Structure 1
Amino acid sequence: MDIIKEIKGGLIVSCQALEDEPLFGSANMALMARAAKEGHAVAIRANGKDDIQSIINETRLPVIGIVKRNYQNSDMYITPTIVEVDEVFAAGADAVAVDLTNRLRPDRISNSEFIKSIRCNFPKLMIMADISTYEEGIEADSLGVDLIATTLAGYTSYSKQDDYPNYDLIYRLSEKLQTPIVAEGRINNPAEAVRCLQNGAWSVVVGSAITRPQLITKRFTEKIKEFYKSN
């Protein structure tokens, strides 16, 4: 459980690029992770076996691994089945982040069965539960996960939709549970990251605001366009 102590009060950087993005590729993500390390990130969240392995070799930081995979019969896409968990484990990640929302899993097993299967097959792999609501966080805690992340708040059809981090969800879960609550989702600047910590977050995950330059650039260009339209 040393990784939990290592990430307390720190910034975890999500280094991901999908196939249609300019920085796609494990070599690029390894360099992105190195840059994050130089900025004093305490851990990296990474997608896919190749990226995970490259980032571990490059940084030696703790890595929370995921595999994003779409299934036609389910809305889940973050490490939704034991197949993806196996890929994360084989890549050497310290922890696996899994979708633990109330949506139907591709293999139709329950969240309880899923967590039991991970514990049975990969007993040394830490589990981060990606949830979207307070009730899902409570269930994740009851299933004995190691970390609970607010990653999917606002990304399920039934969770609160907002342009900002769900500070209330972070606060309520951290007040209620002993399991560390990791703030993730829609954190766009340092002030928002600090506010998440003030609301009880154990640590903070930031992705797009740091590691997707095309989106960062777009934020600037849109503001510039707004300026010219209003003048």
Structure 2
Amino acid sequence: MMELDQLRGGLVVSCQAYPGEPLRTPDVTARMVQAVVEGGARAVRVQGIADVRAAVGATDVPVVGLWKDGDDDVFITPTLRHALAVAEAGAHVVAVDGTRRTRPDGLTLAETITALKAEHDVAVMADCGSLDDAREAEQAGADILGTTLSGYTGERPRTDGPDLDLITLVHGTCSAPVMAEGRVHRPDQAAAALAAGAFAVCVGTAITHPTTITGWFREALG
């Protein structure tokens, strides 16, 4: 398993594009990974089996892998089958839905993490939406607690920036490190997340999604 201390106080960059977009190819993802690592990213977060493989082959920094699949509420690496495939693709950290919602295969989060770690020497990041999610995810064996789903599960309001209150709550309640993720759009927000207790900060859209960034500027110009 990778040493989590590699990420302490650092920036993790999510390199993802949505289906149908011009940048949605493994080759582009690999180049994006190389670009953000050159800029100082300590790790990258990548979606999709082909993209995870491409990222692992393109860099020496840890790769947080996930597989978004399905139309259910739980779609971030939703089953054990998905988690195993992400690990087999070479991810050093497997990110999974870490909420208390029912998983499509009927397994609990604890059963999923236990079975995954029995097969692969990987860390697990639980994408959580609340403090209760984080508590249960830690008990289930998650190595990293992400605030990824805060504001998307109905338990907490969707903040304009990162959910700093949740970061503080999880940091003060749980022993596992907290990955601040979700709506971190500016450098000062990333710094605020670290000050609130985050172990590391994951930024995606504001760095690697030019379509959205362009939209921000277009809207500002009216």
Give the TM-score normalised by structure 2: 0.96
Aligned to 1:135: 132
Query: Please, what is the CA RMSD of the aligned residues?
Result: 1.2
Q: Which has the larger radius of gyration?
A: 1
Amino acid paired to 2:104: P
Secondary structure, counterpart of 2:105 in structure 1:
coil
- In structure 2, the gaps of 5 or more residues are none
Query: For residue 86 of structure 1, what is the amino acid of its counterpart?
Result: L
Q: CA deviation at 1:66?
A: 0.2
Q: 2:5 is aligned with what amino acid?
A: K
TM-superposed CA distance for 1:119, in Å, is 2.3
Contact 1:3/1:62 (8 A) holds in 2: no
Q: Tell me the equivalent position of 2:122.
A: 125
Counterpart of 1:200? 197
Partner of residue 228, structure 1: none
Q: Distance in 2 between matches of 1:223 and 1:102?
A: 38
1:2, distance to aligned residue in structure 2 (A): 4.4
1:120 Cα shift?
A: 2.4
Secondary structure at the counterpart of residue 14 of structure 2: strand
State the distance in 1 between where 2:104 and 2:2 align: 32
1:98 paired residue number: 96
CA distance in 1, matches of 2:3, 2:28: 25
| Counterparts of 1:140 and 1:18, CA distance in 2 | 27
Please state how far the C-alpha of 1:86 moved relative to its aligned partner. 1.6
Instruction: State the 1:171 CA deviation.
Output: 0.5
Return 5+ residue gaps in structure 1 as ranges: 226-231
Match of 1:14 in 2: 14
* Structure-2 separation of matches of 1:102 and 1:178: 19
- Identity over aligned pairs, percent: 39
Q: Bigger CA drift: 61-70 or 14-23? A: 14-23
Name 1:167's counterpart in structure 2: 164
Q: Which runs of 4+ in 1 moved over 4 A?
A: none
- The count of corresponding residues between Structure 1 and Structure 2 is 222
Distance in 1, matches of 2:3 and 2:214, equals 33
After TM superposition, the score normalised by the length of structure 1 is 0.92
